[in-house]
Amino acid sequence: KLAKKLTPQTFAVSFDVEENQENSIKSRLKDLIQKKNMEFQAETGYSDKLNLLQVECKSDLLVKEQNYIQTSRLLLLVISGCLIFIGILNFLNVRVADMILSKKDCTIMRSIGMTKKQLQKMFLAEGLLTWLVLFAFLVTIDSILIGGASWFMKTKISYFVFHYPIKEMAGILLVLLGICMILPRFFYKQNIERDK
């Protein structure tokens, strides 16, 4: 019996508008809603603080929260920069440690007939292989993690907009590639050529 008495009600309506028409549509909507609210207050005798309808625009929210957004972006940028710097230093440390540990191996390989050029090519190939593994991880696992984080943020913050960091990823990959290519040459010149 109760289900028959209940009538469907609309609690929220949302829609997108073209950017060039946003201001005119927003002002029309606000006027229309104010008019309906005044009619509702006059009919029911409720105070002017009780509204039947209300409008919430994402563009207004963005303007209102702009200071918070800028502060959050700056904070996250600094934290991300520190983490990237620490990650690159860690990668550099691991590569240098690997090369120092392989110094004895180089001496043994040189004694059995491996040329200096072959040693240098071996170090470069090892660096490129390491870079390819890092590239695969960045493109697959990082993309999944970033996608998951953006989905979570969209569910929590209505005005959140995600842009995939292609330039930043490419920059990190180029820095790592540079380390993988330059470090073997530097190590080779410092250690192998000096031990002629």
Question: For residue 162, what are the contacts with CB-CB under 8 A and spacing of at least 6?
Answer: 150, 153, 154
Structure-block tokens of residue 99: 């090369």
| pLDDT computed for residue 132 by the predictor | 92
What b/e string do you get for 66-89 counting C-beta neighbours within 10 Å, with b at 16 or more?
Answer: eeeeeeeeeeeeeeeeeeeeeeee
Judged by DSSP in three states, 6 sits in coil
Phi, psi at 116, each rounded to 5°: -65, -40
Q: For residues 183 and 96, is the Cβ–Cβ distance under 8 A?
A: yes
Q: For residues 84 and 172, is the Cβ–Cβ distance under 8 A?
A: yes
| pLDDT computed for residue 60 by the predictor | 78
Using alpha carbons, list the distances in angstroms from residue 112 to 116, 123, 191. Answer: 12, 17, 18
Structure-block tokens of residue 195: 């031990």
Using alpha carbons, list the distances in angstroms from residue 14 to 11, 34, 54, 123, 174. Answer: 10, 18, 12, 59, 43
End-to-end CA distance of the chain: 98
Per-residue pLDDT tens listing for the chain (196 residues): 555 666 666 666 777 778 888 888 888 888 888 888 778 777 777 666 667 777 777 777 777 878 888 888 899 889 989 998 998 899 888 888 887 887 778 778 888 888 878 887 888 888 888 889 988 988 899 889 988 988 998 888 776 778 888 898 899 889 888 888 888 777 777 766 665 5
Structure-block tokens of residue 147: 């996608």
Query: What pTM was computed for the model?
Result: 0.59
Give the residue carrying structure tokens 């508008």: 17
